[in-house]
Every structure is written in structure tokens, then in C-alpha cells.
Amino acid sequence: MSTHEPIADRDGTSAPPGAGPPSRSAVVSADETGETGETGEASEASDTGDTGDTVNAADVPDVPDVPDVPDDGAGPEAGWRLRDLAKLVAACVLILLLVNVFVAQPFVVPSGSMENTLRPGDRLVVNKLAYQFGGTVSRGDVVVFDGTDSFVPGGNESIGIGTELRKFGAALGLAPSDGSIFVKRVIGVGGDRVTYRAGDHELTVNGVPLAESDYLYPGDAPSGVGFDVQVPPGKLFVLGDHRSNSSDSRDHLGDPGGGYVPVSKVIGRAAWVIFPVGHWSSLDRPPGFAAIAAAAKGGGHGNQG
């Protein structure tokens, strides 16, 4: 009969039934440390081959179920859609800018100097290809041009973000220009002699009377002052259709540029009025200039149109 007594824990209580005698490693560890705590347990795990990594399923706390999140379009697919949209917008803006630079550009009419042909706030489309590929400026054309050094002095342009934004808005036809862009009608081209005597009913180009009733503002005389000018080669003599309300070549005859507009400063021919809807129109060359063009061809006056 065995007289072996159950091993007692350190607090004097009996070990659980069935517990065998301590292993040698546990006894040695207890003797060396004076405790039967974690060192002993680690040694027992070493003797039995248990690495201590095994976790019972009962020891893992329950994880609550995560409710499904509804697809609100904010996932990866939505991100791709936004990027595609951004690319499309960027491509449209790029195409618009290229068209504005090389083909056609909208402008806002800033004043009443061209009434009733053009009214303040009208949106024009300027054909930039009209004078390319051999085309030339003709008498009677309504042109948009840069008046720097002819109508306004150059070198005074401010620099800053406001200036750049204004230029961008003007390029898109959303804002008026910075004051250096003008729209007028071409009366004389290089080589022409344009004359008006105060009180006359018509001015003359190369001695040929010009009929202006198709576009001249009702009640206006051809000019309030007399003049007699010879247009230099490569230059233009331009007037507004509302002569009593237009600052044009007449007003700059004594300026450094002589009031003449260099052909190289012409941005393009004003081709259409596109806004407001009730003022839609094409800006065709008036028939009164046909007689002057025919006389110029026969007599050799003028080197353009």
C-alpha cells in the first residue's frame, strides 16, 4: 500500500486530486528561486513539450459582429470616377484654351463706341484665322486689336495674381480686357488717303465717298472734326461706329503712334455676336466699301483689301 501523501501548495492546501509528484525540473527551480511561480510553470511546460502558445477557445472573448456598411459610392470605384471626371474637365479646359489661342476667342464689348453694331456687354467671337494663310485686313472689317503703343502707352502693366486672373477671364470671354484691347471698324489700310471736311455728309477714301448709313449711329455725323491723313504701309486707320462716343484714330493723330494701328497688333476679325440671344448677328463687311475696293484696284491705292 502506498503511503504517499498529496503534495501541498505553498498556502498549505492540498493539490488537486490526481496531481502527481513534481517533476525534477520543477523541484530544482523551486529550490533555486525559492518560489513555485512562473519559473516552475515554465519548466513544467518545457518538460511536457508545451510551448505556451496554445490558447483555449474558451479563453478568447467573443467579438461582436460588425454590421455591413452600405455602399455609398465612396469606395475605390468612386475615387476612379472622380479622377476620370477631373481628367475630362482638364482636357476640356486645355482644348478651350488652344482654340482661344489659335482659332477663335470670345471678347466682351466694354463700351458704346461701336453702337448700334455692338453694344456694351455684347459677347463677340473673334476669328483668329481670318488673316492667316494669306488673308489680309480689309476696309469695313470690325477688328479686335491690341492698342498698346498706338491707343494706350505701353510698359505700365501691373504684375500680380489679380492681373493674371483678369487675363484668364478675358481669354475665356468672362471678363472685360485690361483696357488695352479695342474693337473698331477699319476705314483705311496702308496707302489709303482718308479725308473729312467738317460739315460734310460723307468722308472719302482715296477720293471716293464712303456710304456709312448701314452702320453709323443714327444722328451721328461721320466725324466731329476734320482730318486728312495718309495711312502708312502696314498700318490701319480705324473709327468707331458711334462717332460722337468713340475715341479712335482721330483722337490719337498727334500721339507717338500717330493713331494708326499696326496690322501685327490685330488679334482677329470680329465675326459674330453670340450674346445676348436677342442680339445674335454676323458682322459682315458693309456694301459701302465695295466701291472703294473697286476704285483702289483700278487706281492702285492701298496695299490691303
| Residue 209 reports pLDDT greater than 70 | yes
Strands (E), 73-180: 104-108, 123-127, 142-146
| Residue type for position 125 | V
Q: Does the N-terminal peptide bond of residue 276 adopt cis geometry, omega within 30 degrees of 0? A: yes
**CA 24, 28, 34, 40 torsion-angle sign:** negative
Given the residues 29, 43, 111, 113, the one annotated as active site: 113
| Residue 6 reports pLDDT greater than 60 | no
CA–CA distance, 140 with 136 (Å, rounded to integer): 12
Question: What are the pLDDT digits (tens) for 31-66?
Answer: 444 444 444 443 343 444 444 444 454 555 555 555
- Give the residue with greater pLDDT, 54 vs 301: 301
Q: Are 113 and 184 in contact (CB under 8 A)?
A: yes
| Residue 185 reports pLDDT greater than 90 | yes
| Residue type for position 238 | V
Q: At 261, is the pLDDT very low, low, confident or very high (cuts 50, 70, 90)?
A: very high
Q: Region 253-272: what's the mean pLDDT? A: 92
- Residue that is written with C-alpha cell 490526481 in the block: 18
Question: What are the pLDDT digits (tens) for 62-92?
Answer: 555 555 545 555 556 777 788 888 878 877 7
Ranges 14-23, 140-149, 169-178, most confident: 140-149
CA–CA distance, 305 with 188 (Å, rounded to integer): 10
Catalytic status, residue 235: no
Given the residues 128, 184, 235, 265, the one annotated as active site: 184
Cβ partners under 8 Å of residue 38, min gap 6: none
pLDDT value, residue 271: 94
Q: Are 212 and 288 in contact (CB under 8 A)?
A: yes
| Residue 154 reports pLDDT greater than 90 | no
Q: Which of 41-50, 127-136, 201-210, 265-274 is predicted with the least confidence, judged by mean pLDDT?
A: 41-50
> Residues of the chain with pLDDT > 90: what percent?
46
pLDDT value, residue 68: 54
pLDDT value, residue 44: 43
Q: Region 225-251: what's the mean pLDDT? A: 97
Catalytic status, residue 264: no
Question: What are the pLDDT digits (tens) for 91-108?
Answer: 777 766 665 555 678 889
pLDDT value, residue 87: 78
pLDDT value, residue 39: 41
The CA-atom distances, in angstroms, between 245 and each of 115, 217, 220, 240, 258 are 9, 10, 9, 8, 20
Cell triple for 105: 476667342
pLDDT value, residue 168: 62
pLDDT value, residue 45: 38
